[in-house]
Copies of this chain bind each other. A is one copy, B any other.
Amino acid sequence: MEFFKVVSPEEAKEALRGFRALGTERLSSFGAVGRVLAEDVHSPVDLPDFPRATMDGYAFRASDSFGASEAIPAYLEVVGQVPMGAAPGFSVGRGEAARILTGGMVPEGADAVVMEEFTSAPDAETLEVRRPAAVGENVLAIGDDLKKDELILGAGSRLRSQDVGALAGVGVTSVEVHRRPRVAILPTGDELVDPRETPCAGQVRDINRFSLAAGVIEAGGEPETEEILPDDLGVIKERLDQAVDRADVVLISGGSSMGLRGSHRLPMRRRSRSDGPPPWAKTFSR
């Protein structure tokens, strides 16, 4: 019986791969947390787009510090200080150094930054460096984080808060995402009553509509719940057709077994032997 065909979670997921694509919408990256990208996002720029110090200290030519040690420090002339948020406006030559803070732009001519902990300043113009620096030390080179045109996030990935930050860093503040799937939920069953009502004997409150709707919200969809449908094939078919037309996904609950197909609509009472065969005798046969 087709009705009893239960599929495994793997089979269900496989079937969903053929799911028709949802439309898309453009949202601020902000409002798109948890949504699924409908486009590949590439970096429009190099990040950083200038060589950036990763420590507070001094920028200079690494070669000027080769061989420096606690016993025999290198001495450099401090020629300026790099402002935050602006180009230095000067370059650093041989034997020179510039004060720099984390995030500052490494001046032309300098190729390394030494942490201030490894230096001292015997006077305002002199820097003592007690450790050799390697070329590129404590410097984030152009494009080290992201190169221009590099793929940041692929279509189909779900946007997380850290992704929103990564996109902001390269100036991307809006994204094309799939719209939320509309999920129609159709509870069926003569025994069901709305949870807000008090069930009579033999009735039960409709749990599925509530838990499924909440689950759809949790999963990022938009639930559309129907009123409870009676166990009437015609009504169910009609509502199912309507739901399939307007929703992306239709969830229907009920019918966990073969049932008695309509016979339970007959008045129920204690039967006497003179009644003849019980009403379900015909419908209940395999």
Contacts and interface: CB of A to CB of B under 8 A. Distances in A.
B101 A165 contact: no
Interface stretch (A15-23, A64-72, A214-222): A214-222
Interface residues of A, number: 91
Given A80-B268, A90-B270, A124-B278, A29 B164 contact: no
Interface in A234-266: 256-260, 263-264
A50 B201 contact: yes
A8 interface: no
Interface of A: 29-30, 33-34, 48-50, 52, 56, 78-90, 99, 101-105, 121, 124-125, 160-162, 164-173, 189-192, 195-215, 217-218, 231, 256-260, 263-264, 268-271, 273, 276-281, 284
Given A85-B200, A165-B214, 16 more contacts: A49-B199, A56-B259, A80-B269, A81-B260, A81-B279, A81-B280, A84-B264, A90-B268, A102-B256, A103-B204, A105-B201, A161-B215, A164-B211, A165-B211, A168-B207, A171-B205
